[in-house]
Structure 1
Amino acid sequence: MIYLFIGVAGSFGAILRYMTGVVLYDESVVFPFATLTVNLIGSFLLAWFTTGIVKWFSLSPLFKAAIGTGFIGSFTTFSALSVETVTLVRNGDLVLALIYVLVSVFGGLVMSRVGFSLSKGEAV
């Protein structure tokens, strides 16, 4: 049964990921803003959800897995970050590739910290 819940939630996360890409896509822009956006939002959401929402409400393990692994897991995308970074490097955009990786990693850590802080009612 858990696989069904993860799959259904994952389909919604994947659809939202695709829609975000459609909205943020601009063929004239080389930088992968859509992937960066979903990964930063996902970092915040996963931290906020796992430390706040699950403690504020008595959520079943089924629902936790569906949201954390299914929805947020399919919304974010490390594989796209990797491919887009390699593409930037292959196209000679080394500085953009480095900026992308640094902003993705450190931005993800910052967004996770914000998610943890907000879930515990702390100042950010």
Structure 2
Amino acid sequence: MDELLIGLFAIVGGVLRWLVGQLLPTGQWPLTTLLINLVGSFLLAWMSGNIVRRLKIPAALSLALGTGMIGAFTTFSTLTLDVYHLILSQHWWLALTYIVSSIIGGTLMAAAGMWLGSNQRREASIDD
């Protein structure tokens, strides 16, 4: 059952990723992939820090949301391919900036998601 839910949610995440790619401009700088990965880092951490515990989401649904939807929405493989193309076209500075932005930005977004999720949990327990 977990596999089916993961697959269904992966379809949603993949389509969302494609839609975001259609809305954002493309160019030399891989902005679309960077933004998708930053948003995905935030959402996964926020979901882990808040939604699952607060709403008591079943483990199967949590797995489907995280692994399926957010996993399909974000993409490490596209990041590495983007870096490869930047290096091939001798845009070393852009490649390095992109890698650093992705790693540091993703970590900061995950920290922000966990912080927000933790604060929402505290507020919810105060209200209860």
Query: How would you bin the TM-score normalised by the shorter chain?
Result: over 0.9
Residue 117 of structure 1 corresponds to 115
The 2-side partners of 1:71 and 1:31 are apart by 25
Higher helix proportion, which one? 2
Unaligned regions of 5+ residues in structure 1, if any? none
Residue 36 of structure 1 corresponds to 34
Kindly indicate whether residue 45 of structure 2 is the aligned counterpart of residue 47 of structure 1: yes
CA displacement, residues 79-124 of structure 1 (integer Å, 9 cap, x when unaligned): 00000001000001000000000000000000000000000118xx
The 2-side partners of 1:80 and 1:65 are apart by 23
User: Residue 119 of structure 2: SS of its match in structure 1?
Assistant: coil
Using the size of structure 1 for normalisation, the TM-score is: 0.94
The 2-side partners of 1:119 and 1:17 are apart by 23
The 2-side partners of 1:53 and 1:11 are apart by 21
Using the size of structure 2 for normalisation, the TM-score is: 0.91
Unaligned regions of 5+ residues in structure 2, if any? 121-128
Matched to 2:63, the amino acid is A
The 2-side partners of 1:25 and 1:6 are apart by 30
- How far did residue 51 of structure 1 move? 1.4
> Larger Cα Rg: Structure 1 or Structure 2?
2
Alignment partner of 2:68 out of 70, 81, 91: 70
Residue 7 of structure 1 corresponds to 7
Residue 124 of structure 2 corresponds to none
Sequence identity, in percent? Answer: 38
The 1-side partners of 2:35 and 2:19 are apart by 12
Matched to 1:49, the amino acid is M
Post-superposition, which runs of at least 4 consecutive aligned residues in structure 1 deviate over 2 A? none
Report the count of equivalent residues.
Answer: 120
- How far did residue 25 of structure 1 move? 3.0
